[in-house]
Amino acid sequence: MDYPISYILPIQLKDGSLVQLRPIHPTDGASAKAFRKKVSDESVRDRFLGYIPSISKKLVDRLTKIDYDREMAIVAECVDNDKKEAIAVARIVGEGKKMEKAEFALIIADSWQGRGLGSQMTDYMITIAKEMGFQKLFALLYTHNVQMEGILRRRGFLFRAEGYDTNLATLDLNEKRRDLLTDTFYELR
């Protein structure tokens, strides 16, 4: 698949900030080190379920040179001093030959956390996963990552303990969900 320009989307956060979501591109590798400086070691551990002291060229290539038919990574950018800067990355990676399920992950620069970006990016990735034909999404996260757990629970992910300090969250993309506020059923986009 060519670069999927149809997934470029401008959004507005609850604090009024304007952010552009767009698919990652191989040229984004140059900004990976700058993005890493905006993310605390704790946020990196929460995203990768372990500590990554530095960003190697091999890791940058793996994260930016993707097969758009099997996975999607969306970068959130803002403009600061007339220069675009990455502030978050959400990713889904298909598994298996049938590509029925995909792993979901999200990392947000610390100064941008708590502004609604994680919720909007999660919603967008659910939409993209459905468009790509996935049946299920899953995420593995530490039990102390209550912000991400809250985002996923509000979208209908089901949780089960996966280890001493990790949970597995799964979402059936074909299942109708009950909206607890309106007591009606709806389909995910």
Predicted TM-score of the model (pTM): 0.86
CA-angle at 9, arms to 45 and 12, nearest 5°: 75
pLDDT score of 30: 80
Domain 5-186 class, CATH top level: alpha beta
Q: Given this model, what pLDDT does residue 176 score?
A: 66
How much is the pLDDT for 185? 46
pLDDT in tens, the chain (189 residues): 789 999 999 999 999 999 999 999 988 888 877 787 787 777 777 777 676 666 778 877 888 899 999 999 999 999 877 888 999 999 999 997 777 999 999 989 989 999 999 999 999 999 999 999 999 999 999 898 999 999 999 999 999 998 889 999 999 998 765 444 444 444 443
- For the chain, domain boundaries: 5-186
pLDDT score for 52: 67
